[in-house]
Structures are given as C-alpha cells and as structure tokens.
Amino acid sequence: MVRARARRHLGDHRARQQRLPQLQPARHRHHAPGRHAGARHHLPQRPWRARVPDGFLHQGESEWRDLEAAIRTARSMGASHIVLYGGSMGGAIVEQLLTRSPLADLASAAVLENPEISSRRTGEFAAAQMHMPSFMLPIMEQVIDWRGGFDIAAIDLLGHPPRVKPPTLLLMGDADKEHPVETARELAKASNAMNWPIQYEEFPGAGHSEIWNTDRERYDRTLAAFLTRTLR
C-alpha cells in the first residue's frame, strides 16, 4: 500500500500518527508492504524524494512525483498490486498522480480518507468558519495561484476527475471541520456518470482524521472487504 500525504500541511500530529496504524490489520491480511510518499521519517535514505524549490504546499500539483517514485520503488521490490492511500491533503496528491503519471495505470485500487476533493471548496469552507468576508476569497486564490504557479481551481475531483479511475474506497466523517463532507457526497453521487467505481462510506460523528478512532471495527471490516474484493 503506497500512502500519500502532504509535505507541509500535515494537520494535527497526533491525529496523523493515529491514522497510520489503522491500515495495518487489513494490510497484513493481504500481505501488502507499505511505502510512504512524503513521509521523510519512514524512508530516511530514499534518494528519489522530489523537492519543491519554493518549500510551499502545491496541493498535490508537484508532490505527486513523490508518490510516483514510491510506486516505482514498490514495483522494483516485487509488488504485484499497488493500492494508493491518500489521507486529507494526500487525496489531492493521489488525484494528481492518477491524472498526470504514466504509472497511474499500475494502481489496482485507491483509498481516500477525509480527502481534499476540491481545493476551492475547502478554502470556502475554511473561510466560512473563520467568518472571512467573501470578497477576500478571489484575492486569496490569485495569491495562491501566483505564488504556487498553478491553478487552484483545477485541483478538483468534481470538475476535473482523474484520467485513471481505479476502484476507490472513499471514507468521510460527517463532522469533518477541514474538508466539507458535501464534496464527498457529491463525488459519490457523480461517480457512475464519471465511470469511476467508488464505494462511499460515511462515519457519523467522526471529525477530520478521526474515523478509525470513532468506529474501529467498522473501519477495519470495510477496508478488509474492499481490499479482498479489488485485489483478488
């Protein structure tokens, strides 16, 4: 299982550390070795980690190369199945890899947990929680586009679905305060029209990166069943 996470925007450290162990039961059940893209402390000597010269978060627009390198390494080690895991901003990294990478077709499946589905919608959601004046949003987007050198509106699974669409397990907590749950619901609803096999699982009362902590039994059961079905 190849995991993607953002290099700069890491969120709460404790929540992130809790999120990684939850994959272990199902992963070991399927004999799937794990590789982290963007996680320096897990692969400290890997020579292939892409570096962003400006040091800014690019919403997956450049970070996907880390994930591609991890796939290449996993394949060189004999991996027969590639399962992409994107938590939070890692969802945008997975999206960009599935759109841009020539290795995207190697992905057998994807697991997206509390992912950023639309950068613009996430920004609007955050601005509303901070009671930010609406006229500030276009200005902020222009600054991000200029400083990062990419179009933030293009980081959007709803408006710009990926080129490669592997079977995907989409996990979302309905109490997420970082990414709006409505975007996950909309993506699940539109998946048939996109010809994208998505299994959507919503966890009541779960906040951002808290799904496993909220209902571990359901999480493990759902993930194991998904991997069994897609990797056989």
Q: What is the pLDDT of residues 153-211, one digit of tens each?
A: 667 888 889 999 999 999 999 999 889 999 999 999 999 999 999 999 999 999 998 99
- The Cα–Cα gap between 2 and 124 comes to 30
Quick count: other Cβ atoms within 10 Å of Cβ 149? 12
pLDDT category, 112, cuts 50, 70, 90? very high
Residue type, 18: Q
Instruction: Identify the weakest region by mean pLDDT among 58-72, 117-131, 133-147, 182-196.
Output: 133-147
- The Cα–Cα gap between 74 and 55 comes to 26
Residue 205 makes CB contacts below 8 A (sequence gap 6+) with 173, 174, 175, 214
For 2-231, the fitting CATH number among 3.40.50.1110, 3.90.1150.10, 3.40.50.1820, 3.20.20.70 is 3.40.50.1820
pLDDT at 62 over 90: no
pLDDT category, 54, cuts 50, 70, 90? low
Note the pTM of the prediction, 2 decimals. Answer: 0.73
- Specify the DSSP element, H or E, that contains 231: helix 216-231
pLDDT at 110 over 90: yes
In this predicted structure, what is the pLDDT of residue 199? 98
